Structure 1
Amino acid sequence: MVDFLGWPLVRQLTGADRLGRGAAAQSPRSRDLEPRTRSADRVVDSVCPFCAVGCGQKVFVKDGRVVQIEGNPASPISRGRLCPKGSASKQLVTSPTRVTTVRYRRPHGTEWEDLDLDTAVDMIADRVIATRRQFWRWEDEQGRRTRHTTGFASLGGATLDNEENYLMKKLYTALGAIQIENQARI
């Protein structure tokens, strides 16, 4: 026997919620739901990492784990709104498929391997120093002092904010690179 009294239409017609916008439309499960933000131990203000716009976010944390990320209404940029990518940014830190190690594929290799961070940073530093040394030019063909390298360049992306682009510009300029761009300028 089917319990017709539990149906939303019956609750709507027999109860006080005639328009079916409140209690008549709720199941026992949905009535007992609580927002994920209510269980948070603390709230941390942050900035969305997806583009250089800098939309404000509120990161809700419980027991050291992110439980929800929402737009920050106090942000003068986004006023509490997030684009679809920003709304899904919780997945950046909570996805079980998130890569949390340095992955490296050797030249002509077919498999990826994990490296510890110190080894990876040393490899990058060695290659930057060798490339800079190999392609360094003290002066051009007419004897004018140049002090630069054309051995490497920098192209920043949309996921970098202004501060990161500023630091990259300073780093690559200090290394002597002359091809330094970011997506916002292109």
Structure 2
Amino acid sequence: MGVRTWIEGWPVYRQLTGSDPLGRGAAAQSGRSKALDARTVTADRVARSVCPYCAVGCGQRVFVKDERIVQIEGDPDSPISRGRLCPKGSASKQLVTGDERATKVRYRRPYATEWEDLDLDTAMDMIVDRVLDARRRGWEEKDSEGRFLRRTRGVASLGGATLDNEENYLIKKLFTAMGAIQVENQARI
């Protein structure tokens, strides 16, 4: 490589001699970065969605290639977010494609040191048995003056921010129908 080739490849030289004196465009790009393409360019299709994290309802564009999500970005056509996403919304691709995402029911028995895999039916039966038992043990039919309460303090719910609006709505309906009075979401805490 000659000195001239080296100098012409130097970003400061390109910045001072080219049409980009502030070094914000072509002068700042290396040959390697010029050759790169965004993941969104090679996508087969784009699906529109709504961010699942909070009640704002920011629009998202989900880029799909070979039936796999390759990128999730803010939707510039969304009147709510106008293409912007918060840090959690920007990382929502990880929610659906992350390697650490749990895909099996894991259970650690009391006093055990290891986790075991359970089939879904067994896990659901265990949950139902425990919820019904806690509801029954904490049930309050009437107060001390004979007024009907029909509630339980044996069951409570604390929703998380990874639940979407529909999930939180259904959880609220379920726990209220069971008589629970402590139904909250971490977004309000």
TM-score, L = length of structure 2 = 0.82
Contact 1:41 1:62 in 2 (8 A): yes
Contact 1:5 1:11 in 2 (8 A): no
AA aligned opposite 2:131: V
Aligned to 2:34: 31
**Structure 2 CA distance for partners of 1:158 and 1:21, relative to 1, 3 Å:** closer
User: Sequence identity, in percent?
Assistant: 68
- CA offset at residue 15 of structure 1? 7.1
Does residue 112 of structure 1 match 2:130?
Answer: no
Contact 1:59 1:69 in 2 (8 A): yes
Contact 2:54 2:165 in 1 (8 A): no
**Structure 2 CA distance for partners of 1:90 and 1:146, relative to 1, 3 Å:** same
CA distance in 2, matches of 1:173, 1:42: 41
More divergent stretch after superposition (6-15 vs 129-138):
6-15
Aligned to 1:57: 60
Aligned-partner SS, 2:154 = coil
When the two chains are superposed, the root-mean-square deviation of aligned CA atoms in Å is 2.6
For residues 67-106 of structure 1, the aligned pairs below 5 Å read 67-106=70-109
- CA offset at residue 86 of structure 1? 1.8
Aligned to 2:14: 12
AA aligned opposite 2:14: Q
CA distance in 2, matches of 1:82, 1:43: 17
Does residue 167 of structure 1 match 2:170?
Answer: yes
Contact 2:141 2:150 in 1 (8 A): yes
- CA offset at residue 161 of structure 1? 3.9
Structure 2: runs of 5+ lacking an equivalent = none
Contact 2:134 2:155 in 1 (8 A): yes
CA distance in 1, matches of 2:14, 2:138: 78
Aligned to 1:125: 128
Does residue 147 of structure 1 match 2:150?
Answer: yes
CA distance in 2, matches of 1:183, 1:53: 15
- CA offset at residue 24 of structure 1? 4.6
TM-score, L = length of structure 1 = 0.83
More divergent stretch after superposition (67-76 vs 140-149):
140-149
AA aligned opposite 1:65: R
- CA offset at residue 59 of structure 1? 0.9
Aligned-partner SS, 1:137 = strand
Structure 1: runs of 5+ lacking an equivalent = none
Contact 1:46 1:59 in 2 (8 A): yes
Corresponding residue pairs, total: 186
Aligned to 1:180: 183
- CA offset at residue 100 of structure 1? 1.7
